[in-house]
Each structure stands twice: as C-alpha cells, then as structure tokens.
C-alpha cells in the first residue's frame, strides 16, 4: 500500500505528519509527501527519507486585496496538477494535516476516488480543514470537542516518540532554574522584544534559553542567556529546561505536555489570528495543565514562574494523566481502518 501525506505553510502543519512516519512504515510500502514550495519545509521532510513533491497553491490573504480574486483560478490549476501527481503516485489514502497546501491535494484525491483522512490540531477548525473535511472520509481531532462521532474521531495529537523519552543536556554550569522562551518555528516578535527588554531582570534569578526565529538573532552578552534561531532537538531542549513560555499552537503545547514540563501560554490575540490559540490555551487552563497570560508583563510573569515551579510535581502528574491517550498510533489506526472499510 502507498500513502500520501500533505500539509504545509508552517512547520506546525508538517511536524505532526512526521510524527506518524515510524508507525506508517509498518503498514505502507511507499510514503510520499506533497507540500509547499518552501525550501525549509522540503528539507524538514526529506531529513526523514520521504520523497517530497512541492506544489504551487494559492493562499487566502486575510484582508481585502485584489490578489484574492485570483484564488479560484489558481486553485483549479493546482487541483489539476495534483490529480496528475496522485495518478502517478497511486496512493491508497491521502492524510492531510491542514494548511493552504493541503486543499488542492484533498480535492484532487476526492475526485479520483482516493480515501482521505484529515487531522485537526486545534479546538476549532481552520479554513483549509473546514473545506477539506467536506471531502474526507474521517476527521481525526486532538481535542474531544466534536459532536459528530461518526466522522470525527478524537485521536489526540500525533507526537514524535522522542518527546516521551527525551534525553537531557546541560546548557549552563550553575544550579539555577532554566526558563525556555519559544514562539514557534517562525519566532514571535512580541515574545522576542519582551525577552530583550527584560533580559537583565530575568537573568538575575534564572537561566534563559530563547528561540527567536530564523534571521532574528540579536547578539546579547550574558552568561545566563542562550539564543537560538531554531532548534531541531526540541525534545532534549524542553527536557533540559524547568519551565516553558510558549504561544498557543496545539502541536507545541502537546509536545511540552509529553515531556512533562510546567508551561505558561501566551496565545496570539484575535487581531493576529482567528482565535484558535486562545481557545487552545483556555482548554489547557481549564484542565489545570498550564497557566495563561493574555500579555507579558515582567512582575506578573515572575510571579507565575515561581508558582509553576513550586507546583511542578502536581502539574507533571496531571500532565502525565492527560497525555496517556495521545500519540501517533491512534491516528494510524484510523487511517488503516478507513482503508479497510467501504465508506
């Protein structure tokens, strides 16, 4: 059997797909990836030994612009290209992780009679997945919030196995607690500026590791501070820190959860997103898995850090209990069962 994975636009649409690779190899002879034409996304997939096929596809710009009027015509062209590619690859199923890249692939697969399974990471669906779900056989969800139990199946988050058994590394030669600031694969301007503005205060008490995003390094001389553009050893990095301050992307939240570290979530506002990060953060807060802050303020943050570190054991126990049903196997089970059924 063959399978095509698709999804892209950000690393958040790709990494969960890669978390499935080991499980999928037990069932499929060939695994292919159809993604965006971004070099960094192609490299990320090819590092796993998966053939990568880049496609050109339109992206909706969330403000008025004449470019959006071209989307229907560009999408039709992209769907035609995807149909030809799928006919060549001959997959038994297409698995979509969302993002604008997935849309023409899923529509093309549906028109060719190829089964489709979609996975939604957030508490509410993005535009691409809302459309893709109409053409899918099954929809896997990370959060147990969808009422249609026939089509929607709560599988939890696909998480790379390294997060469940991470190694550890000594980044500093002192015994201070280490705080990790991370804003996602692209960094986060607000988080970056906050760290730079408050670095002296933060490092009076803590070690700080800061993932600032590609091409966003600003040299800072401080023995208790390490800055990185991107980290390809996130399980080790998270496990080597005592607390993580992060945005509200679902994939990052569940990876931190799998390692078992206290976290403070600072979600993107509705001005910066469709509000899914706020919803994800509220879910984690309601289940006592994390604390949240709408914005960063140094005194409030220091208080939250101290509180989280003091309650570390209790938090880790709750996290371990919640994450026990998550993982890649649940998603792969849905994929295999979908192939076996006639619907």
The answer, yes or no, to whether residue 336 has pLDDT greater than 90, is yes
Name the DSSP letter for residue 207.
E
The answer, yes or no, to whether residue 325 has pLDDT greater than 70, is no
Q: With respect to residue 168, please indicate whether it lies within any of the assigned structural domains.
A: no
The answer, yes or no, to whether residue 12 has pLDDT greater than 80, is no
Name the DSSP letter for residue 50.
-
Name, in order, each residue with C-beta under 8 angstroms of 279's C-beta and a sequence gap of 6 or more: 122, 123, 124
Residues 227 and 315 in one domain: yes
Q: In the structure, how many helices (H) and strands (E) does the chain have? A: 13, 13
The pTM is what?
0.84
Per-residue exposure over 220-232, b if at least 16 CB sit within 10 Å of its own CB, e if not: eeeebbbbbebee
CB atoms within 10 A of CB 151: 13
Interhelix angle 71-89/102-111, rounded to 10 degrees, is 60
Contact 10, 38 (CB under 8 A): no
Domain count, the chain: 2
Contact 328, 88 (CB under 8 A): no
Residues 102 and 205 in one domain: no
Q: What is the mean pLDDT of residues 77-87?
A: 94
CB atoms within 10 A of CB 337: 13
What is the Cα–Cα distance from 171 to 243, expressed in whole angstroms?
14
Mean of pLDDT over the chain: 87
Residues 217 and 138 in one domain: no
CB atoms within 10 A of CB 110: 18
- Which residue range is the domain that position 225 belongs to? 178-323
Q: With respect to residue 172, please indicate whether it lies within any of the assigned structural domains.
A: no
| Cα 178 to the center of its chain, rounded Å | 23
Tokens of 62: 């969330």
Interval 106-123: pLDDT, tens: 999 999 999 999 999 888
Which residue from 52, 30, 28 is spatially nearest to 42, judged by alpha carbons?
A: 52
Question: Which CATH number characterizes residue 57's domain?
Answer: 3.40.50.2000
The answer, yes or no, to whether residue 186 has pLDDT greater than 60, is no
The answer, yes or no, to whether residue 39 has pLDDT greater than 70, is yes
């Amino acid at each position: 059997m063959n399978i095509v994975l698709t999804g892209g636009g950000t690393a958040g649409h790709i990494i969960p797909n890669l978390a499935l690779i080991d499980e999928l190899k037990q069932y499929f002879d060939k695994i292919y990836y159809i993604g965006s034409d971004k070099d960094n996304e192609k490299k990320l997939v090819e590092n796993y030994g998966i053939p990568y096929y880049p496609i050109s596809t339109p992206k909706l710009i969330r403000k008025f612009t004449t470019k959006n009027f071209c989307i229907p015509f560009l999408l039709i062209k992209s769907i035609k290209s995807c149909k030809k590619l799928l006919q060549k690859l001959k997959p038994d199923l297409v698995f979509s992780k969302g993002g604008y890249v997935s849309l023409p692939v899923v529509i093309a697969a549906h028109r060719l009679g190829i089964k489709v399974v979609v996975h939604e990471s957030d508490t509410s669906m993005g535009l691409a997945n809302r459309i893709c779900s109409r053409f899918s056989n099954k929809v896997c969800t990370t959060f147990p919030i969808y009422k249609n139990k026939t089509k929607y199946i709560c599988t939890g988050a696909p998480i790379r196995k390294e997060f469940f058994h991470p190694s550890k590394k000594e980044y500093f030669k002192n015994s201070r607690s280490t705080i990790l600031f991370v804003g996602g694969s692209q960094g986060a301007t607000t988080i970056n500026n906050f760290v730079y503005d408050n670095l002296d205060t933060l490092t009076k008490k803590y070690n700080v590791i800061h993932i600032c995003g590609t091409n966003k390094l600003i040299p800072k001389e401080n023995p208790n501070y390490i800055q990185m553009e991107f980290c390809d050893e996130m399980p080790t990095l998270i496990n080597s820190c005592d607390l993580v301050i992060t945005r509200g992307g679902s994939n990052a939240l569940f990876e931190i959860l799998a390692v078992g570290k206290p976290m403070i979530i600072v979600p993107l506002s509705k001005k910066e997103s469709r509000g899914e990060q706020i919803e994800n953060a509220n879910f984690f807060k309601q289940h006592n898995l994390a604390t949240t802050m709408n914005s960063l303020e140094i005194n409030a943050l220091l208080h939250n850090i101290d509180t989280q570190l003091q309650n570390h054991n209790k938090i880790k126990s709750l996290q371990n209990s919640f994450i026990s049903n998550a993982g890649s196997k649940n998603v792969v089970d849905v994929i295999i069962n979908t192939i076996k059924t006639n619907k």
